[in-house]
């Protein structure tokens, strides 16, 4: 590769940017067409009925009404939530010490494998999974990556219809890109928060462990207890990470603006699949 030749990561970012521009242009076409049609109708009306020509005020009012009635493009967050919601699961565990734990997971393949954080299900005597359609099942841990706080679960009872999430490419992201977290903070099912990517290649040590996790994505979308194991998403609804923890200097268990996710190309290794 020559010095001036773009890298594959750079090309991926360029394609994502061009795709976003094309989407916005396509989204604006119906609106612009509607305004143009209204103007054309006004011109034809004045030519056909010159004795009943519209005043400037009437023309302005007609244009304002046409613009007000145009349906704006949905926010990225709306589309992201609709895309990921069928792939989301709630994980409730009974721990060996008698305590209970709550977390989130995401279905990542056609076999029904569920990615989540290991600390959500570690030392569990019972794991209960609730799918998006209300189907309930016990959960079984089939593999773990302790060094990355990742676990893979399977459910003997699956919904008749389930939708695996689409996995994205964290390498195509950059600081400042939109980031969305969906999970069940404090048991509030299917909650969504929005923010941006704050940094890459961060290191985080989960509470009550001796493990330091490297290579993490830092983001500022709000996450709290119950979000652990849930997906971090880009603007297209693709999973780019699995939420693993938050930082709070006061040692309190609530969000202050710094959270971390394991990149999906690392987490997906637990189910032997590529990131996208």
How many Cβ atoms sit within 10 Å of the Cβ of residue 45? Answer: 15
Given the residues 119, 137, 184, 220, select the one marked as catalytic: 119
Given the residues 101, 149, 184, 198, select the one marked as catalytic: 149
Comparing C-alpha atoms, which of 173, 225, 214, 130 is closest to residue 12? 173
Contact between 181 and 246 under an 8 Å Cβ cutoff? The reply is no
By three-state DSSP, how is residue 156 classified? Answer: coil
How big is the chain, counted in residues?
276
Q: Taken in order 156, 82, 188, 115, is the CA torsion positive or negative?
A: positive
Judge whether 149 counts as a catalytic residue: yes
**Eight-class DSSP state of 26:** H
Place of tokens 């590769």: 1
Q: Indicate the burial class of 246 (C-beta count within 10 angstroms; 0-12, 13-18, 19 or more).
A: buried
Given the residues 137, 193, 198, 228, select the one marked as catalytic: 228
Using CA atoms, how far apart are residues 214 and 106, in angstroms rounded to an integer?
22
How many angstroms separate the first and last alpha carbons of the chain?
24
Return all residues near 111 (Cβ < 8 A) that are at least 6 apart: 154, 271
Q: Known catalytic residues?
A: 119, 149, 228
């Amino acid at each position: 590769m020559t010095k001036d030749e773009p890298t594959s990561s750079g090309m991926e970012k360029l394609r994502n940017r061009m795709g976003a521009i094309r989407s916005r242009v396509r989204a604006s076409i119906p609106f612009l067409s509607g305004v143009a049609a209204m103007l054309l109708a006004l011109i034809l009306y004045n030519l056909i009925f010159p004795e009943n020509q519209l005043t400037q005020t009437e023309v302005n009012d007609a244009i304002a009404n046409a613009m007000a009635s145009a349906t704006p493009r949905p926010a990225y967050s709306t589309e992201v939530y609709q895309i990921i919601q069928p792939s989301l699961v709630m994980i409730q565990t009974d721990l060996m010490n008698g305590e209970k734990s709550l977390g989130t997971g995401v279905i990542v393949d056609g076999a029904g494998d569920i990615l989540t954080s290991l600390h959500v299900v570690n030392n569990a005597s019972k794991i209960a999974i609730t799918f998006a359609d209300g189907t309930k099942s016990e959960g079984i841990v089939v593999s773990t990556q302790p060094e990355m706080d990742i676990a893979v679960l399977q459910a003997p009872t699956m919904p008749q219809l389930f939708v695996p999430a689409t996995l994205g490419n964290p390498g195509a992201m950059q600081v400042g890109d939109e980031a969305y977290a969906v999970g069940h903070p404090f048991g509030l099912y299917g909650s969504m928060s929005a923010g941006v990517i704050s940094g890459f290649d961060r290191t985080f040590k989960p509470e009550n462990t001796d493990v330091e996790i490297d290579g993490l994505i830092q983001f500022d979308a709000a996450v709290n207890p119950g979000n652990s194991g849930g997906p971090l998403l880009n603007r297209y609804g693709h999973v780019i990470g699995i939420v693993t923890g938050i930082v709070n200097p006061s040692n309190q268990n609530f969000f202050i603006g710094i959270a971390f996710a394991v990149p999906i190309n690392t987490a997906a290794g637990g189910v032997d699949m590529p990131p996208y």
